[in-house]
């Protein structure tokens, strides 16, 4: 039985601009590499392909920028947040933006299911008028049935359950569940923009929100 004590940390960073085209897997590989270079007392995996043991947050789709993405890592020695931040800032590529490092005390926080919601901002560019119109329509509608294929099976989702908050001023701001429907499902079904046409939009995941963020009354 391993009596080694481990210390869990979370690195927050942004994935802006051109980085939105880097896949989640490629991002994870890059994060493994920088952890290696950081010279922090990182815990590594065992087995044939030895690499730093990291747990990334929920994946960002290609075409979506991230402002507060995270990646968890484990140290076998506790050192100050100041020192960890300094070492990571030295090695994190400039293309990614260092935000902060926090110490995770609570096991619940480490679970994938902890973050249930994502806050998305979309700058619609030339589709501004359409966005206004479709957002109003979506808000007025009581139920919005949406069908999609997942793992070869047809699944039905009520988008009104997936989208918890939505508003449009000159940009679209929405809070939606991470699982259920993707941003692109909504763009297609509500705003009638196909995936390959989304290049002119600016789509940013502003932050991830935990499962207990909402009380039942705050939905619209």
Partner 1 sequence: MKYRPVKFQHLLPAVLKPSRYIGNELNSFRKEISANTVNFCLAFPDVYEIGFSHLGIKILYTILNEHNDCAADRVYAPFPDFGEKLISENIPLFGIESRVPLKDFDILGFTLQSELTYTNILYILELAQIPVSRKDRQENDPIIIAGGPCAVNPHPLSDFIDAFLIGDGEEAIIEIKDVVKKGKDSSRTERLQELSKIKGLFVPEFSGEKKIEARKYMKFGSLDKTHHNQLIPWQMPTHFRYVAEIMRGCSRGCRFCFAGYFYRPVREKNPKAISSQSQKEIENSGWDEAALTSLSTSDYSCIKELMKDLFKITSENKTSLSLPSLRADTIDTEIISLLSRMRQSGLTIAPEAGSQRLRDIINKNISEEEILKSVKIALQNGWKLIKLYFMIGLPLEDDSDIDAIIELVNKIIDLSHKKLRINITISPFVPKVFTPFQWSKMESRSDLLRKAKRLKGVLSRYRFIKVSYHSVETSILECVLGRGNREVGKLIYSAYRNGAIFDSWREYFDFENWQKAAQSNNIKLDEYLAEIPISENLYWENIDIGISKKFLISEWEKAKQKKTSADCRDGKCIACGVCGNGIIPDFVRNDDFQVETIQKL
Residues of this chain that interact with partner 1 (CB under 8 A) are 18-19, 21-23, 25-26, 29-30, 32-37, 44, 48-51, 62-63, 91, 93, 95, 195-200
Least CB distance to partner 1 at residue 76 (A): 14
Residue number with CB closer to partner 1 (25 or 79): 25
Least CB distance to partner 1 at residue 151 (A): 21
User: Helices 81-91 and 24-37, interaxial angle, to 10°?
Assistant: 120
**DSSP β-bridge partners for residue 176:** 118, 163
Residue number with CB closer to partner 1 (45 or 141): 45
Based on its alpha-carbon atoms, the radius of gyration of the chain, rounded to whole angstroms, reads 19
Residue number with CB closer to partner 1 (52 or 115): 52
Residue number with CB closer to partner 1 (33 or 99): 33
Least CB distance to partner 1 at residue 172 (A): 17
Q: From CA 110, how far away is CA 116, in angstroms rounded? A: 13
Decide if 220 contacts 174 (C-beta within 8 A): no
Residue number with CB closer to partner 1 (99 or 195): 195
Least CB distance to partner 1 at residue 102 (A): 23
Closest C-alpha among 219, 209, 211, 215 to residue 68: 209
Decide if 119 contacts 206 (C-beta within 8 A): yes
Dump strand ranges (E) for 76-171: 97-103, 115-123, 145-150, 153-158, 163-168
Contact partners, residue 216, CB within 8 Å, separation at least 6: none
Least CB distance to partner 1 at residue 178 (A): 20
Decide if 101 contacts 89 (C-beta within 8 A): no
Decide if 197 contacts 63 (C-beta within 8 A): no
Residue number with CB closer to partner 1 (37 or 81): 37
Least CB distance to partner 1 at residue 21 (A): 4
């Amino acid at each position: 039985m391993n009596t080694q004590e481990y210390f869990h940390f979370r690195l927050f960073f942004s994935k802006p601009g051109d980085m939105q085209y880097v896949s989640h897997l490629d991002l994870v590989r890059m994060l493994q590499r920088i952890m290696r270079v950081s010279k922090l007392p990182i815990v590594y995996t065992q087995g044939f392909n030895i690499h730093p043991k990291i747990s990334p947050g929920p994946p960002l789709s290609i075409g979506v920028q991230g402002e507060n993405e995270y990646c968890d890592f484990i140290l076998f020695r506790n050192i100050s947040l100041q020192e960890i931040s300094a070492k990571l800032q030295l090695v994190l590529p400039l293309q990614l933006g260092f935000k902060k490092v926090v110490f995770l005390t609570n096991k619940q926080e480490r679970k994938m299911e902890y973050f249930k919601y994502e806050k998305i901002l979309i700058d619609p560019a030339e589709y501004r008028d359409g966005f206004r119109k479709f957002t109003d329509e979506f808000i007025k509608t009581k139920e919005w049935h949406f069908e999609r294929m997942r793992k070869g099976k047809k699944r039905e989702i009520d988008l009104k359950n997936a989208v918890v908050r939505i508003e449009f001023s000159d940009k679209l701001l929405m809070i939606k569940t991470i699982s259920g429907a993707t941003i692109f499902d909504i763009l297609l079904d509500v705003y009638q923009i196909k995936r390959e046409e989304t290049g002119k939009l600016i789509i940013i995941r502003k932050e991830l929100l935990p499962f207990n963020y909402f009380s039942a009354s705050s939905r619209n």
